[in-house]
Structure 1
Amino acid sequence: MAARHPLQRLASPSRSFSALLHIAGIVSFSASFRYLQLYPQLPDTTYGGHFQFLTIIGLGLALMTMVSGLLADLFLIPQFFTVKNSLSVCSTPLAVLVSILYWGLVSIDKSLVVPPDVQHLLPIIPDVGFHAMPAILLSLDLLLLSPPWTIRMYSAMSLSMVLAFLYWGWVEWCFTKNGFYPYPIFEILSTSQRVVLFTVSAFLMTLSTLALKWVYGKLNGIEMFQKEAVNPIKAD
């Protein structure tokens, strides 16, 4: 297979920098899952477990993306590279969204996203591992080691809305089993306010996709991507 897409910044799949970045992602994300085993944030008996948290769903997708990338690096099989790039369209904007929502809400009031009884269990290094490293490492993978995304604004919005309301449905289903929400903010908001929250989240995820395309275009000299990101409706 070709070492790189003609519009791609660095060679990938490859057994050099590409493999190192994917290994770094796997180590970081695996360490976060290991932390959950050592210091669980929810009782083991809760329905849905830690996958009630959007952070952990995003972390799982990020880990799958990096594993696919590393398999492509090691075996140079095109199908693994294709899987990695397909997963990246979901996992990278979702990781960026998680970082925006988490750090934004924490700056307002940490108790909106972290129950008071578990705040002491999340020191800064694990906090960064959960809520920053997926966005950082996946963005680097996209910008340096991936072919350009072809997803357009309306497709990105549709994907974001589907993911947002699937997650809401999952959270409500878990609530019927457990009697509580994973994030305290859900307890505070009414149903109509949750609709607004998830709609805004979908909009932010769409903006994340467009912003990543703009940066990719800027970094790799693709003027069309920059125009699409700035004026997505016209581009569609």
Structure 2
Amino acid sequence: MEVLLFIVHFGVFFGYICGLYYDVKPPKGSEYEVAYWAFGGRFKYLTFLDMLLQCGYFGLCVANDLFGSEAKIQKQQSALQKYRDWLFTTLVFPMGLFVSIIFWGLYSIDRELIFPATLDLWFPAWLNHVMHTLPAIGVLIEVFMVQHTYETGVKRFKPIVAAYFMYLFWICYIAYFGGLWVYPVFEVFDVTGRTIFFAALLFPNLFFVLLGQKIHTTVWGADEEGKKDRKTE
């Protein structure tokens, strides 16, 4: 086990644990109280769901550091390492970048569309950064520190596409039966504009899958051993 890698993994994991444990709630009687508690509380927010994903992933990394492997050849990899690599390359990396970039991108344009200023009165800044900044920092550190085995072809996109449509269904369900959109930005568009916006959000996710693989190849080189090993199976 590499001590530095374990410390980094445990540090990021602990940061997410703190974020999840701190169950921030809107003040009673505020404009956010009804919306917060409707249809699943925090579980309707992509940033919270991503925090669960990132926390679970870095917890898995800690487990792999202690009990798994860091083998380059696929046949020598433990089950923990294989699942860690699959999860990171198909979901954790693209979702982490997506949440951070989309959030801070909209925030810089007009924060009222994504995180109204009135939230600052009760939503702590450190938690905001755990949810919206740490995902990008964590996955970028991970891709530079750990060599992963990547899927090839169309199957590397299937998990992120499935996750995207599941969440899209979830927020549309909330809007239809609860009468509210999870994020204020969705209220700005009409039906056509909203549909185009939803469709456009899929492409950054697909791009981030490819970007993660490109960065990995640049840092670690082509996975020649992995390719040879997959061909023999």
- TM norm structure 1: 0.78
Q: Which residue of 1 aligns with 2:11?
A: 24
CA contact under 8 A between 2:94 and 2:209: conserved in structure 1? yes
Secondary structure, counterpart of 1:103 in structure 2: helix
The 1:83/1:160 distance shift into structure 2, 3 A limit, reads: closer
5+ residue gaps, structure 1, are 1-13, 225-236
The 1:106/1:180 distance shift into structure 2, 3 A limit, reads: same
- Superposed, 1:159-174 pairs within 5 Å as 159-174=159-174
- Superposed, 1:192-203 pairs within 5 Å as 192-203=192-203
User: What fraction of aligned residue pairs are identical, expressed as a percent?
Assistant: 21
Q: Does 1:38 align with 2:30?
A: no
Q: Which residue of 2 aligns with 1:216?
A: 216
Q: Which residue of 2 aligns with 1:63?
A: 55
The 1:157/1:38 distance shift into structure 2, 3 A limit, reads: closer
The 1:55/1:38 distance shift into structure 2, 3 A limit, reads: closer
The superposition leaves residues 39-79 of structure 1 with CA deviations (integer Å, 9 ceiling, x where unpaired) of 45755632121121111111111111111111111223622
Q: Which residue of 2 aligns with 1:149?
A: 150
The 1:164/1:189 distance shift into structure 2, 3 A limit, reads: farther
Q: Which residue of 2 aligns with 1:7?
A: none
CA contact under 8 A between 1:93 and 1:208: conserved in structure 2? yes
- TM norm structure 2: 0.79
Q: Distance in 1 between matches of 2:21 and 2:47?
A: 15
Amino acid at match of 1:107: S
Secondary structure, counterpart of 1:125 in structure 2: helix
Amino acid at match of 2:13: I
Deviation for aligned residue 1:184: 0.4
Q: Does 1:106 align with 2:107?
A: yes
The 1:42/1:205 distance shift into structure 2, 3 A limit, reads: farther
5+ residue gaps, structure 2, are 27-31, 70-77, 225-233
Q: Which residue of 2 aligns with 1:136?
A: 137
Q: Distance in 2 between matches of 1:170 and 1:82?
A: 29
Q: Distance in 1 between matches of 2:116 and 2:175?
A: 16
**Matched residues, number:** 209
Q: Which moved more, 1:59-68 or 1:183-192?
A: 183-192
1:50 is aligned, of 37, 42, 48, to: 42
Deviation for aligned residue 1:117: 3.9
Q: Which residue of 2 aligns with 1:229?
A: none
The superposition leaves residues 1-50 of structure 1 with CA deviations (integer Å, 9 ceiling, x where unpaired) of xxxxxxxxxxxxx2512211211111111122233x13457556321211
